[in-house]
Amino acid sequence: MAHFFLVTGESSGDRLGAILALELISQGHQVSGWGGKAMHKSGVTIHQDIEELKVMGWTDVISKIPKLSSLLSKCKKDIIAVQPDKLILIDYGSFNLRIAQWAKKEGLYITYYSPPKIWASRPGRINKLKVFCDQVIVLFPFEKKYFDSKGIDVGYFGHPFANQIIESKENHSFREKNELDEKPILALLPGSRSAEIKNILPIFLNAVKKLSKYNICISCADGMSASIEKIIKASAIENPTIVKDDYYGLIKNTTLALVTSGTSTLEVALYKVPQIVGYKTSKLNYQIAKRIITTPFISLVNLIADKEVVPELIQNQLNTTNLRENIIRISEASTKLTMAQEYDTIIEKLYNKNCVKDSIAAITKD
């Protein structure tokens, strides 16, 4: 059996790594790497927790260059110590492309699972994927089409989150565990990075402050509890529920969600929950982003559908007035029905009952 070393640096990558690891371990392979709670729970030997790797935006990356440089060195040392048969890189492009460049010189076989979003920005990075990676597996059909057009043969087997969510069992204990009454749940998903939470959560909270007909529940990523509690206290909102370690339980039981752009937009759609997508960063990061991001949408839902399925409120558009207006709009029966139908189309594109087995078969193939 082979030894696989997985490297990711963010929460969604940690969940993807955990899904891959469970299947690899079930087949008798060894798995170690850099990840978080999900990968550790799946049986991965963790050499570095991802909390130290989470950054957001270009100015954050610049300020943390010394730290990232140190972590790159540590990651290389960990890989050398393990001497894995294959290296699986998951998302986290700014870090993992550097690891790929080094690992290629070391003679390692490199699979990039969920590669950088070069279709959205910095398309020149495609040359690094061509040169440094032996195998690339994408998670969306539009990515397969994009890479094919650029002359890169990539694998596409569906999205594992679609399998995980569609095949999951009902969670009947969520309300009881969180001491919630029968009022509908309005979920706030402010992201997993401190800068996202600082920029976005106060706006979300202000928009829902007077919505007494809902239970307001806030998803809390690992290590973010203190930041969220501080923002709640400053907002003077009454008794929201902070949900830790039950991210999917929250989404599954919610009626409506305010979501920070990212993988969460897809997961909410897979649970067929009406949502509003928001994003706000620093003025400098926003000015940089406007110049290099080429896609017409920021949410995965709209990108997969290639049209606006869910409302997107970006930067100055993300404010209390716009959020409240959209909460009213997507609560209407006709809007919910249309959104649900579009979600079904997206699910058809992403769901493959053998997604994980097919992916692992490709990764483990000699």
Q: Are residues 55 and 199 in the same domain?
A: no
**Amino acid letter, residue 351:** Y
pLDDT tens digits for range 96-119: 999 999 999 999 999 999 999 888
Same domain for 149 and 137, yes or no, is yes
Q: Does residue 10 sit in the same domain as residue 126?
A: yes
Tokens of 97: 């492309």
Closest CA to 301 of 122, 207, 161: 161
DSSP secondary structure code for residue 151 in this structure: T
pLDDT over 90, % of the chain: 75
Convert the pLDDT of each residue in 256-309 to its tens digit. 999 998 899 999 999 999 999 999 987 777 676 666 666 789 899 999 999 999
| Planar angle of CA 346, 274, 10, nearest 5 degrees | 70
The token duo for 208 is 């829902």
Say if 192 falls within a structural domain: yes
Burial 290-304 (b: 16+ CB within 10 A, else e): eeeeeeebbbbbbbb
Which CATH number do you get for residue 127?
Answer: 3.40.50.2000
Q: pLDDT at position 59, please?
A: 46
Closest CA to 112 of 15, 3, 16, 1: 16
In a domain, 166, yes or no: no
What pLDDT does 15 receive? 94
How many CA atoms are closer than 13 Å to the CA of 342, on its beta-carbon side? 23
Distance CA(282)–CA(2), nearest Å, equals 44
Q: How far apart are CA 7 and CA 48, in angstroms?
A: 9
188 neighbors 201 (Cβ within 8 angstroms): yes
Specify the pLDDT at position 56: 47
Q: What is the pLDDT of residue 57?
A: 47
Q: What are phi and psi of 155, to 5 degrees?
A: -90, 145
The Cα–Cα gap between 72 and 322 comes to: 42
| CA 274 – CA 103 distance, rounded (Å) | 43
Rounded distance between C-alpha atoms, residue 130 and residue 116, angstroms: 13
What residue type is 227 in one-letter code? S
Q: Say whether both 181 and 152 belong to one domain.
A: no
CB 260 within 8 A of CB 294: no
Rounded Cα distance between 169 and 187, Å, is 20
- Report the pLDDT value the prediction gives residue 361, as an integer from 0 to 100: 97
User: Which residue numbers in the chain have pLDDT < 50?
Assistant: 56-59
Q: Is the domain of 194 the same as that of 259? A: yes
Domain count, the chain: 2
Q: Name the residue with tokens 């078969």.
A: 361
Looking at the structure, do residues 51 and 125 belong to the same domain, yes or no?
yes
Alpha helices (H) along the chain = 11-26, 37-41, 57-63, 65-82, 93-105, 126-132, 141-149, 160-166, 174-177, 194-208, 225-235, 247-253, 263-270, 283-292, 300-305, 320-330, 333-350, 355-364
Do 203 and 150 share a structural domain?
A: no
Token pair for 15: 């969940």
Does one domain contain both 359 and 341? no
Q: Quick one: 88 and 149 in the same domain?
A: yes
Say yes or no: 105 and 203 in one domain: no
Whole-number Å distance between alpha carbons of 204 and 192: 15
State the residue range of the domain holding 107: 3-158+352-364
In this structure, the answer to whether residues 285 and 137 fall within a common structural domain is no
Which residue in this structure is represented by tokens 């940690």?
A: 14
Query: Around Cβ 180, how many Cβ atoms within 10 Å?
Result: 15
Whether 127 maps to a domain, the answer reads yes
Percent share of the chain, pLDDT over 70 = 93
Does 22 reside within a domain? yes
In DSSP terms, 241 is beta-bridged to 217
Verify that 250 and 332 share a domain, yes or no: yes
Q: How much is the CA Rg of the chain, to the nearest whole Å? A: 20
